[in-house]
Structure 1
Amino acid sequence: MKQNLLSKSLGYLPGQHDWKREIAAGLISYFSVVYIVMVNASILSDAGMPLQAAMVGTLLTSIAGCLLMAFLGKSPIIVVPGMGINAFFTYTLVHSMKLSWQEALAVVAVAGLLFAIVAFTSLYKQISEAIPHNLQHGISVGIGLFLTFIGLQKSGIVIAHQTTFVTIGHFSDPNVITACVTLLLALVLFVRKVKGDLLISILVGTALAYILGGVHPAAAKIEGKPLEQYGEIFAKLSFYPGILTISFWIAVFLLLLIIVFENIGLIGAQTRMIGRPETFKGSLRALSLSNIGAGLFGSSPTVAAAETTAGIAAGGRSGVSPLVAACLFGATFFFIPLLTYIPDSAIAPILIIIGSLMVQNVKDMNFTDFTEAFPAFLVMVMIPFTYSIVDGMAFGFIAYPAAKLAAGRGKEVKVVMYVITALFLANFVLHAMM
């Protein structure tokens, strides 16, 4: 009786699903995505958050997200903080828009609350349909290029130059050698579809960094107990006085757009892969709630992990898979002190690989219509060139209605798009006056 109740609550259908396959799918999904604990914490630490505390926040956010997906979404989707969105959190909200990381967490929570409203109504359809597909794909491509640039910087493969702004790094540097070898290994493992490819690459890269002398154990160790340190970020959201400013709400609106676009696409594709499109609404709602939790737990926003496809390929069809992943994320707490030994040179290549995957969205873009192509092109290039996702998006979103009006096709632009354009213009004016 209890087993039947559990099966029903997880969307497990006896006769159609297999417990062994579901558990195996959860294991594979976990090992495919566990690298996010180190990589996400590394990016959050650039925002000023303590590294070990950021690891705890990432784990708690992942556990909560996977449990929500298991029991509310009833699908095999794994929920973790998203790559690309974590870059938005650190390098745009904190570095570019000058919010504190506490204010950025408040932005995450508010955006998550609005996402929940969108997900529990039909608004998600209206927002998704109002934004041109070219701009949506352009954002993914631009963020992919941005992540790649960050990875190249963190690895030392690309360094600053006074005249040309950037130049090639020093290949005599042990950290650069480590990054290059790790990148090559990650490429080989990924192409050969080895289970846990990115995790294996990080571990081998870490070992190589110590062998080559790029990092020394004594210097790498970070003192402190993770759970004690975590008290510095748990529920440390700062709403006042930021919530009274225009820039705060612009940040909320832009983050909302990103998480809505990305997750609608990911969840839609993944629920179709398992042949259960009826789980789309529940999965989207579960993910929206997990974003509220992300702000509370001290992490950047969550997404339906692309690595979920590995678990689906292994037979995952129900909520059993994310339940297993949640349990394994819980066990990962015991390894946090060891994870602090992982250097940037082992993490940076993963950012480059993830960036390359996001850039593949370019194949779905329409370049035959210049009024569609040029705004999307601006988004793609201006995100990495301005080192700001917001500013990069602004150029494209402003150019889109301008191009349509110039072509005498202003009616093709939805009212929502004109509102978004006005917000971007207001943001530029606001910064000019500061």
Structure 2
Amino acid sequence: MDKLQREEAVANKLRLREAIQDKNLIKREIIAGITGFFAISYIIIVNPLILKDAGIPTDLSVFATIISSFVGCLIMGFWANAPVILTPGMGVNAFFTYTVVVSMGLSWQEALAISMVASVIYVLIAFTKLSQVLADGIPDTLKAGITAGIGLFLVEIGLEKAQLIQAGKSSILALGDLTQPATLLAMFGLLLTLFLYIRNVTGGFFIGIFVTSLLGILFGIKDQASPSVGIGDIDKYTQIVLKGDFSHVFSVAFVLAVFSMTMILVFESMGLLEGIMPNPRKFKRAFQASSVTSFLSGILGTSPTVAAAESASAIESGGRTGITSIVAGIMFALSIFFIPLLSFVPQAAIAPVIIITGALMMNQLSRINMFDFSDWFPAFLIVVLIPFTTSISTGLAFGFVAYPILKIAAGRAKELTIATYVLGGLFLGDLVLSALL
């Protein structure tokens, strides 16, 4: 009897330990989801401001941004069980607005149609063997270059939000005014967040955002651009739902835009997911979730959703499962009731997390053979051209074109796959045709 009691006691201790571990796991996932949400929450304000230049009403675009992010995070959480946040992407929204609408002269309704067609192709790739063919056929050096390039792009965005860099008078960039309150607040937030990260404090990014925002409120530091819309305006949102214009679907401009957007969606997502996913086995379903949500975003009236690079902040905070993305999705849903309150989270509080996240993504450079110039230079072009041109598609194009050229020049054509030849040719054609239009 004593033996049975001892065994039962041991079993109870094991069950208690498992319960405690489960609670700690859920707590960590919730903190990671909240951290990831706040790291990317600026998209609720920034995405509508960018799409405004395309002609989409800002007040309505806010709802589209929130709803597409909510739907995307739930799909990612339940379908892929991955800690990845899906939101309208920075870079692809700039392509949507400034390339498709402003430069090419198409309407925002046509841009939505382009987004949906590109996303259908993305879905076909994600749910067929093509995804594996591309994943296996694209060199690791280019995948690493994509992640690192987007990381450097994030660092640039974060430094701008912190006002630590600005447009220079005699140079492209110059140091910002270090006497400005917002800049000083961002520097404090960066030091605090770095300290918490180095010390492995659970929820360090979230704590950094919260403390920095609190100081911003106390010292009256608030961003000027904040949405002037509330939940009462949601009845007008249907004005931008299902507005894609497919009337010029066979025009040269439409086809070129579809190709470029497809390449951005596929390879940005592929490079980013392979770079940040803690569990590579979840890549396939995460890739599929991203493709489906990208298509839905066009229906919902916004530029395509992608895996947010800021998901890395959630992962660094301990996110490992779909609970993280579901929590982030719930936060997006709740934010629709508190849109004006987001203005109390200044860019200076978000900037440190974006900077650190970008820096962490740049550790993918370690996967590139720096001693092989034919490997290094194409990745280098991707890394520098993405932030310098603020165009993910431009960085991808130059990198994918340069890679086969340098391998052939080095007498190592046998290292090339059919995928690298095909994509290199397609990207070259896209660059040429884009320059001629």
The normalised TM-score by structure 2 is: 0.79
Indicate how the Cα distance of structure 1 residues 342 and 238 shifts in structure 2: closer, same or farther if over 3 A, else same.
Answer: farther
Distance 1:239 1:102 in 2: 8
Name the structure 2 match of 1:122: 129
- Of 206, 216, 223, the residue aligned with 1:209 is 216
Worse overlay, 63-72 or 365-374:
63-72
Name the structure 2 match of 1:248: 257
- Of 63, 77, 85, the residue aligned with 2:83 is 77
Contact 2:404 2:421 in 1 (8 A): yes
| 2:433 counterpart of 1:426 | no
SS of match in other structure, 1:81:
strand
Indicate how the Cα distance of structure 1 residues 295 and 354 shifts in structure 2: closer, same or farther if over 3 A, else same.
Answer: farther
| 2:279 counterpart of 1:303 | no
Contact 2:137 2:419 in 1 (8 A): yes
- Of 53, 57, 67, the residue aligned with 2:74 is 67
**Structure 2 counterpart of 1:224, one-letter code:** V
Distance 2:314 2:218 in 1: 34
Name the structure 1 match of 2:420: 417
Name the structure 1 match of 2:189: 182
Name the structure 2 match of 1:261: 270
Distance 1:242 1:24 in 2: 48
| 2:294 counterpart of 1:288 | no
Residue deviations 1:316-370 (CA, integer Å, cap 9, x gap): 66x6665555445433433222113433333333321221121111111122322
Identity %: 32
**Structure 2 counterpart of 1:306, one-letter code:** A
Contact 1:119 1:281 in 2 (8 A): yes
Indicate how the Cα distance of structure 1 residues 192 and 393 shifts in structure 2: closer, same or farther if over 3 A, else same.
Answer: same
| 2:92 counterpart of 1:89 | yes
TM-aligned CA deviation for residue 283 of structure 1: 4.5
Distance 2:323 2:220 in 1: 43
SS of match in other structure, 1:252:
helix
**Structure 2 counterpart of 1:77, one-letter code:** P
Residue deviations 1:61-115 (CA, integer Å, cap 9, x gap): 3432343344433x35344227xxx222233443355466655544443343223
- Of 401, 406, 416, the residue aligned with 2:404 is 401
Name the structure 1 match of 2:204: 197
Indicate how the Cα distance of structure 1 residues 239 and 398 shifts in structure 2: closer, same or farther if over 3 A, else same.
Answer: same
**Structure 1 counterpart of 2:394, one-letter code:** D
Worse overlay, 301-310 or 376-385:
301-310
Distance 2:250 2:362 in 1: 34
Distance 2:212 2:112 in 1: 31
Distance 1:58 1:224 in 2: 13
Name the structure 2 match of 1:378: 381
Q: Number of aligned pairs?
A: 405
1:89-108, aligned counterparts within 5 Å? 89-96=92-99, 98=103, 103-108=110-115
Contact 2:265 2:306 in 1 (8 A): no
Name the structure 2 match of 1:170: 177
Indicate how the Cα distance of structure 1 residues 78 and 140 shifts in structure 2: closer, same or farther if over 3 A, else same.
Answer: closer
| 2:41 counterpart of 1:38 | yes
Q: Which runs of 5+ in 2 are unaligned?
A: 1-17
Indicate how the Cα distance of structure 1 residues 423 and 411 shifts in structure 2: closer, same or farther if over 3 A, else same.
Answer: same
Worse overlay, 150-159 or 138-147:
150-159
Name the structure 2 match of 1:337: 340
Distance 2:216 2:92 in 1: 28
TM-aligned CA deviation for residue 300 of structure 1: 3.9
Residue deviations 1:361-389 (CA, integer Å, cap 9, x gap): 11111223221111111211222222322
1:230-249, aligned counterparts within 5 Å? 230-231=237-238, 233-241=240-248, 244=251, 245=253, 246-249=255-258
Contact 2:297 2:303 in 1 (8 A): yes
Name the structure 2 match of 1:9: none
SS of match in other structure, 1:194:
coil
Contact 1:72 1:286 in 2 (8 A): yes
Contact 1:32 1:310 in 2 (8 A): no
Distance 2:72 2:31 in 1: 17
Residue deviations 1:16-69 (CA, integer Å, cap 9, x gap): 998746643542332221114522224313413466655543442343234334
SS of match in other structure, 1:367:
coil
- Of 144, 169, 177, the residue aligned with 1:137 is 144
Q: Which runs of 5+ in 1 are unaligned?
A: 1-15
Indicate how the Cα distance of structure 1 residues 130 and 289 shifts in structure 2: closer, same or farther if over 3 A, else same.
Answer: same
Name the structure 1 match of 2:15: none
**Structure 2 counterpart of 1:225, one-letter code:** G
The normalised TM-score by structure 1 is: 0.80
**Structure 2 counterpart of 1:90, one-letter code:** N
TM-aligned CA deviation for residue 129 of structure 1: 1.8
Contact 1:96 1:388 in 2 (8 A): no
Distance 2:307 2:236 in 1: 26
Whose radius of gyration is greater, 1 or 2?
2
Indicate how the Cα distance of structure 1 residues 240 and 137 shifts in structure 2: closer, same or farther if over 3 A, else same.
Answer: farther
Contact 1:88 1:389 in 2 (8 A): yes
Q: Which runs of 4+ in 1 moved over 6 A?
A: 16-19
Indicate how the Cα distance of structure 1 residues 87 and 414 shifts in structure 2: closer, same or farther if over 3 A, else same.
Answer: same
**Structure 2 counterpart of 1:365, one-letter code:** I
CA RMSD, Structure 1 to Structure 2 (Å): 3.4
Distance 1:66 1:150 in 2: 23
SS of match in other structure, 2:91:
helix
Name the structure 1 match of 2:372: 369
Indicate how the Cα distance of structure 1 residues 65 and 333 shifts in structure 2: closer, same or farther if over 3 A, else same.
Answer: same
Contact 2:213 2:346 in 1 (8 A): yes
